[in-house]
Amino acid sequence: MEKKNISISKKARYFQLGKISEQTKTIWFVFHGYGMLSQYFIKKFKNLENYQTVIISPEALSRFYIGKNYDRVGASWITKEDKLDDIDDNIAYLNSLFESSTKNIDLNSIDIHVLGFSQGGATACRWILNSTIKINSLGLWGADIPIDCLSENNREKWNQFKTTLIVGKKDEFISEENKAKFAKLLNSYRLKYDLIEYDGTHKIIEEVLIDYIQRI
């Protein structure tokens, strides 16, 4: 048996709060976690929207049913199956979305912020580190950084934006052991980052989000 691939054209959807115009000063790209949909995830950022701020939430390319009743749908950015192809497809999709969204504005006068929640954090990292896009900050909420992003070739890129890790003290998906291992990994890589810990679980909390924004 021989494995083969073909390239196809596929529609990808995203949701947006606000309209990009000459008045726009800030654009947020926010990435949902595993099993979520961007149409619901973006609502967590509704309070950020104003005439100068736009929020864009890309949706992962793979959707599936959640639960035994098949009444809910979620999406996933990547699995271990054909992982490298999925990474390439995600980067191409996100580059296309960025270019189409910002083609009529002067990016020199715009602040670009990226926030990845849970599984979306890895996709956010791989996108900005494997593209020419210039951003001001990267927030990783309840997420880790893929090993492939912590390479020597990426050191200069990491220094071009501010990185913040946001983690709940009661996050049910991140054990204290994993926190310690992750911190050790980042310290050995000498990554500069801010850490925000909050008294909560694996979810976006408005008060914490506001605190994070004020720090960047």
Report if residue 148 sits inside a domain. Answer: yes
Q: 185: domain CATH number? A: 3.40.50.1820
Report if residue 53 sits inside a domain. Answer: yes
Report if residue 177 sits inside a domain. Answer: yes
Report if residue 157 sits inside a domain. Answer: yes
Report if residue 4 sits inside a domain. Answer: no
Its domain, for residue 133, covers 14-215
Q: Average pLDDT for residues 175-200, to the nearest whole number? A: 95
Task: Give the model's confidence band at 67: pLDDT under 50 very low, under 70 low, under 90 confident, else very high.
Answer: confident
Provide the number of structural domains found in the chain. Answer: 1
Say what the pTM is: 0.95
Residue 44 has what pLDDT? 97
Question: How many other C-beta atoms lie within 10 A of the C-beta of residue 68?
Answer: 6
Report if residue 7 sits inside a domain. Answer: no
Q: Average pLDDT for residues 158-181, to the nearest whole number? A: 95
Report if residue 1 sits inside a domain. Answer: no
